[in-house]
């Protein structure tokens, strides 16, 4: 990894309690829908026992100036609708060779009762804004 960006360093200083609690609170809930936008993963849940609906958002919050962050997957997300959420974790990935700038990648693995799907988090920058700061927030209705 190259130099850490200002946004990543700020996130490292912050408490990640909300992310941890959001992931923990989502464990065991049935996934009713999944969407991946340019920069966020959305999982909608229906709790088995309480019957409430909730939405978990996961994103890379390390944005600094002069970089491009986005998320991609090759997995068919609709295959995991109806499964139970088990966990979320990040893993390092090899950087993508690029002639003119840095292109870092980090894997986000979402484990469900039907298996695992992988989302790639990308950060393209000029070499001064590296790193990732994955955050999650649960919105309950």
* Of 131 and 57, the one with more pLDDT: 57
pLDDT in tens, 30-73: 999 999 998 999 999 996 666 678 999 999 988 877 788 999 99
CB-based burial of residue 29 (10 Å sphere; 0-12 exposed, 13-18 middle, 19+ buried)? buried
63 and 129 Cβ atoms separated by less than 8 Å: no
Of 13-22, 81-90, 95-104, 120-129, the range with the highest mean pLDDT is 81-90
**Could you give the C-alpha distances from 98 to 11, 13, 36, 75, 80, in angstroms and in order?**
26, 30, 25, 24, 33
**Could you give the C-alpha distances from 22 to 9, 31, 113, 135, in angstroms and in order?**
22, 15, 18, 9
Cα(25)–Cα(1) distance, rounded to whole angstroms? 31
With b for 16 or more beta-carbon neighbours within 10 A and e for fewer, the 69-91 pattern comes to bebeeeeebeebeebbbeebeee
């Amino acid at each position: 990894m190259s130099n850490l960006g200002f946004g990543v360093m700020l996130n490292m200083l912050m408490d990640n309690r909300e992310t941890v609690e959001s992931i923990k609170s989502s464990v065991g809930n049935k996934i009713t829908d999944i969407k991946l936008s340019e920069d966020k993963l959305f999982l909608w849940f229906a709790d088995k026992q309480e019957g409430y609906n909730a939405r978990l958002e996961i994103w890379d919050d390390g944005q600094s100036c002069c970089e491009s962050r986005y998320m991609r997957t090759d997995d068919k997300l609709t295959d995991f609708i109806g499964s139970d959420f088990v966990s979320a974790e990040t893993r390092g990935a090899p950087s993508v060779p690029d002639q003119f700038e840095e292109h870092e990648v980090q894997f986000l693995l979402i484990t469900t009762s039907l298996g695992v799907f992988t989302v790639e988090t990308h950060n393209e920058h000029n070499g001064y804004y590296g790193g990732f700061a994955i955050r999650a927030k649960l919105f309950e209705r």
